[in-house]
Structure 1
Amino acid sequence: MSPPSSFTRRPRLLVVSPNRSHQAVLARRLGAEGYSIVTASDGATALGELRRSAIDVVIAELVMDPMSGPELTRSIRDQAAFAETPVILIASRAEADPAVRAFEAGAEDVILKPFHFEVLVARIERRRAAAARVAALRADMEAMDARAAMKAIELGELKDRMVQLEAERRRLPA
């Protein structure tokens, strides 16, 4: 299952896992799907990678030390530059209430192990598409704000011109 061709550049995923073999498997499989992969073994390194390069989706383990997946998610949400970056947390079925903790922290999705790899890819694409829609809406709002500002300037200029014309009309003999 390849990522849709409607996205122009190769999507960058940040895979965060303290388990090097799990990290390597995800990186290899996602790389084979056409994604550009950046890896990190802990939350602090992940935050550094976010600052270094544009990341489309963060995929992190729920249980990590010293910063857990939910703590990483909160840190991402607290930084305006990354607040809209989708986060998917991977949890073990043995963990108590993983989805609740993940969603409370601001994660967009939780996937439980063991999972079908195709499901992970589908969820990544769903989150990327949603993020693209939000970015398009934000750009439209900014364009509308700019048009509204220009119209306000034009109205101000028309008002000034009207005042000038009215003053000229009063100066003319009746």
Structure 2
Amino acid sequence: MARMTIQPLLIAAMVLTLLAGGFAGWAGWSWYGAAHDDAAAYAASRDEVLAAGEQAVQNLSTLDHKDLAHGLDMWQDSTTGDLRRQLTDGRGEFEKQVQQAQTVTTAKVLDGAVTELDDRAGRARVMVALRITVQAPKEKPAAKDSRMLGELTRTPAGWKLSALGQAPVGNSAAN
């Protein structure tokens, strides 16, 4: 009876083929699991909320008396609910004040964070750190760092600010 000898190179090729197939299967399964994981969808929502919140807070902290209508339109486009109603109702009086003061206010986002997100209910809260610069006629620009707290509501047009306020600074418990 003739003996059959298996070549060492053939054995090595078969083992490498099995290992490569196993790795490909594991990688595909891992990718599928990550792509369909709720944590990944939640992280994407959080990133979307943060970007919308930072932009909206920046929009509401920026206004140029020379392009007032455009600036106030951006304010309204960035808001919803009671906040939008307040801006709309007070627009005429505010326009007069800004035109009289002739100020240019610009804001730059320094940092931001989502502090709360209820994706199912379509509500979120953000904290945004800004550097706000105000330029008044015949004066040097005045810059101030500020922290704002914003509430966002998901609308058919995306996430919009529904409330905005100054974040408390310092230790309020100390008396």
Structure number with larger C-alpha Rg: 2
| Structure having the larger proportion of residues in strand | 2
TM superposition score category, shorter chain reference: under 0.3
Q: Which has the higher contact order (CA 8 A, sep 6+)?
A: 2
| Structure number having the greater helix percentage | 1
Q: TM-score, normalised by structure 1?
A: 0.24
